[in-house]
Structure 1
């Protein structure tokens, strides 16, 4: 029979998890439960007529590309991400390296910065007088989230999942510069000082405007102008001026630039929490789904020839999204531990 001393020795050797370990485990569990309980809301603006048209488009696309099915080849759609894989919630990294979990309300008090305020879904920076030194913060948004930041000059930015933004706490001197990785919607405060965004080796110069920027790593940079004016400059090219309602895209492989008119509602649909596409190539649709849900797809060639028209809420569980795509594209998705093979 064990004595009281023996029991005390056993208890001393029991490892009790730290508060940080318990918190991290809780966040992982909460994230899984949240995904499993996502409500499905499929919105078709034109009802059954739209469904018939969609089926017709898919059938036509599959018929025109029926020969492609025999030409199989494996192409990888990148799993995401430009962000830190260890980040599971929106996270703010301060200049001193301190990391703040932005889903915790107490982050407001732990920031320790008089010019930073944190609310439920936004970081707000206030201008501080007599600041000369530029210090940078970095906002990281993982899969399954979007988040907002109001910069010190009043510029408002919404970041999509799988994105990060590096920016100064306070803009100093005659420059307003930020660095984007991923996708974001900007509403830039008007000023005589130009606002410049570095993204994927290219630069976007702004003078007070609203626009959407999307980087497809190692593939393309796409910018859609909603209001105002911007200048887009990529390596080896002169600055290209864009007017509202236009898309400027830079192809990293060919180093080519293309400007074309677009329907801006599709470029900004993610702000409304939906996947909204009209005649969008399936491979590009899968890229967006990969980033939002944090999954990966390995597919055959020819998916860029299949066009998808759909309107799905982003709260739809991933298995239901995949099932829906199977029905409208005649493709088969085989899942194993978050990785999908498309046949």
Structure 2
């Protein structure tokens, strides 16, 4: 029954957006006449769509504004209007109206108890950080948490580690006034207090830095493959992909270097990709797209399904797998929003014809 409802919904979306084939139109008309359950579901969708003024919404969609909002710049112009219309309706219906006619949820209960953000002190003590506003004294530091952020006061120069699990993000205010946003599955080593003539931290994962300017105390971010040297600037660093480090400069100036002596200097609006095999390669980047994760959004463009499964696992904090051989040539474009896994899966099913199932704590894309 559930698969039938999924199929009806997809056909309804295709009809709304004007790309229902003649064969599919004939199938819909036949089912409306012969299958009372099909007809009831279709009528319920039409009623909900009328109440939500879906057709009016489609006519009012500003194509260029929607294009900018969804960052689908890589689509061919001829296909943009159809894709955006489908996306607009999908987002509209999936946000509420779609589930009204289902007797059981489309997606199995995927909510899991996720590990908390943790602060590992230099003395070995582990502290769970939650979103509740709190002030606590631990060892020789005063920690203030709230609104997904940590501030502290301490003169300790020993290195601590902040660990952000998959499915989460966190913000950190360093003692010098530098702000750091840490993405899912990211860790950062840092001292409570910077001493001497330098400020140094170590990052694995993805983080965005707004570095406070202290010319007499240069700031260095160490990654598994590179070092990023700054005085005062804003940039994003991504080490998610093994063997590659991407540094995207928003403002200021940075010098990023590797252990083999290679280095490159970045200007605002440019990013560098480094790999041990090819060295540094610079290119322009879209700031809104690169930094969207800070607001809980992730854009993907023509991404192979196995790669998307890995990215979605990290983003949503749930294990997602797929058959790399079966879907080696399956690629899709779209958007993920934090805490909206069901919408992402239904969108994926509609746009890429990918089914999904949930078993033993693992989400399978089929």
Q: What is the TM-score of this pair, normalised by structure 2? A: 0.64
How big is the alpha-carbon RMSD for the aligned residues of Structure 1 and Structure 2?
3.1
Q: Which runs of 5+ in 1 are unaligned?
A: 1-43, 57-85
Q: Which residue of 2 aligns with 1:177?
A: 200
Q: Which residue of 2 aligns with 1:311?
A: 335
Indicate how the Cα distance of structure 1 residues 87 and 199 shifts in structure 2: closer, same or farther if over 3 A, else same: farther
Give the CA deviation at 1:279.
Answer: 4.5
1:195-232: CA deviations, max 9, x gaps? Answer: 11111221111121111111124242111111111111
Q: Which residue of 2 aligns with 1:46?
A: 66
Question: How many residues are paired up?
Answer: 266
SS across alignment from 1:315? coil
Contact map agreement 1:152 1:170 (CA 8 A) in 2: yes
Q: Which runs of 5+ in 2 are unaligned?
A: 1-62, 71-78, 87-112
Query: Greater RCO between the two (CA within 8 Å, min separation 6)?
Result: 1
- 1:218 and 2:242 equivalent? yes
Indicate how the Cα distance of structure 1 residues 109 and 88 shifts in structure 2: closer, same or farther if over 3 A, else same: same
Q: What is the TM-score of this pair, normalised by structure 1? A: 0.68
Give the CA deviation at 1:54.
Answer: 6.2
Indicate how the Cα distance of structure 1 residues 231 and 299 shifts in structure 2: closer, same or farther if over 3 A, else same: farther
Report the Cα distance in structure 2 between the residues aligned to 1:240 and 1:303, rounded to whole angstroms: 37
Q: Which residue of 2 aligns with 1:328?
A: 351
Contact map agreement 1:117 1:125 (CA 8 A) in 2: yes
Give the CA deviation at 1:323.
Answer: 2.9
Q: Which has the higher helix share?
A: 2
Task: Give the one of 127, 145, 149 matched to 2:168.
Answer: 145
Q: Which residue of 2 aligns with 1:195?
A: 219
Contact map agreement 1:55 1:328 (CA 8 A) in 2: no
Contact map agreement 1:134 1:170 (CA 8 A) in 2: yes
Indicate how the Cα distance of structure 1 residues 168 and 51 shifts in structure 2: closer, same or farther if over 3 A, else same: farther
Q: Which residue of 1 aligns with 2:43?
A: none
> Higher mean Cα deviation, 135-144 or 326-335?
326-335
Q: Which residue of 2 aligns with 1:236?
A: 260
> Higher mean Cα deviation, 100-109 or 191-200?
100-109
Q: Which residue of 1 aligns with 2:120?
A: 93
Alignment map for 1:114-125 (pairs within 5 Å): 114-125=141-152
Report the Cα distance in structure 2 between the residues aligned to 1:147 and 1:210, rounded to whole angstroms: 17
Report the Cα distance in structure 1 between the residues aligned to 2:80 and 2:336, rounded to whole angstroms: 14
Give the CA deviation at 1:326.
Answer: 2.7
Contact map agreement 1:153 1:189 (CA 8 A) in 2: yes
Report the Cα distance in structure 1 between the residues aligned to 2:85 and 2:280, rounded to whole angstroms: 33
SS across alignment from 2:323? strand
Contact map agreement 1:213 1:223 (CA 8 A) in 2: yes
Give the CA deviation at 1:155.
Answer: 0.6
Task: Give the one of 307, 311, 314 matched to 1:288.
Answer: 311
Give the CA deviation at 1:163.
Answer: 0.7
SS across alignment from 1:271? helix
Q: Which residue of 2 aligns with 1:74?
A: none
- 1:266 and 2:286 equivalent? no
Q: Which residue of 2 aligns with 1:206?
A: 230
Give the CA deviation at 1:167.
Answer: 0.3
